[in-house]
Amino acid sequence: MPMRDLGLIFDLDGTLIDSAPDIHAIANRVLATEGLGPLSFNQVRSFIGNGVGVLIQRCLGALGYGDDPALHARISARFAEIYEDTHDLTRTYPGVIEALDLLAARYPLALCTNKPEAPTRAVLRHFGLLDLFPVIVGGDTLAERKPHPAPLLLAQSRLSTRRHLFLGDSEVDAETAKNAGVPFLLYTEGYRKTAPQSLGATLIFDNWSSLPAKIAALPL
């Protein structure tokens, strides 16, 4: 298959970047404005993956306030205000930048994430990665979010390549790929909760440096 005929679509949090430390810090900061919390790092980390609204709902649920829409709205608004420009504790996973540079020279790249578009672009810009992703579908691009297939299908259509792979780290990403009928590549060092072998991945990897060669060797 010609390399430019294959498009690679990536998740963001837990796949390219480890943003859990910042998300945990911001969550506790905004919860404290209502006299709530704190929540542990592992608790908040386990809530990541379905977008900001679900994250806040899970945080409030853990504190016994999951049925308060007004509180959810206030906390979500405060979280969004801080989230876009907070990257101090966020890191790319080892080898990500180098691997993306190699992959971008061979394949069209896109991003499909449940993080809203503005903070997605901000964090990519922070790490010098924004220009590698001409196509970005965020958690607020459409009414639907992953694991609904619509965001991934939109990313595919905007890439205009004949074949696609979706690379992610979680159960949400695996379900999204299945729903969209796209082969799934699983990065194991992110926010996944279940066994890697249970997620139906075409390729399972734990090292970004090895990924370009592994993709080139796939029998697609």
Active site residues: 11
Residue with tokens 């905007």: 158
Q: Are 78 and 55 in contact (CB under 8 A)?
A: no
Across 131-217, the runs of DSSP E, i.e. the strands, are 135-137, 163-168, 184-187, 203-205
Residue with tokens 């010609």: 2
Residue 166 β-bridge partners: 9, 184
Residue 70 sits at the vertex; the CA angle it makes with 67 and 123, to the nearest 5 degrees, is 100
CA distances to 21, 52, 184 from 155, rounded to whole Å, are 28, 20, 15
Q: Are 76 and 51 in contact (CB under 8 A)?
A: no
Instruction: Give dist(CA 40, CA 38) in Å, integer.
Output: 7
Instruction: Give dist(CA 158, CA 125) in Å, integer.
Output: 21
Q: Are 190 and 209 in contact (CB under 8 A)?
A: no
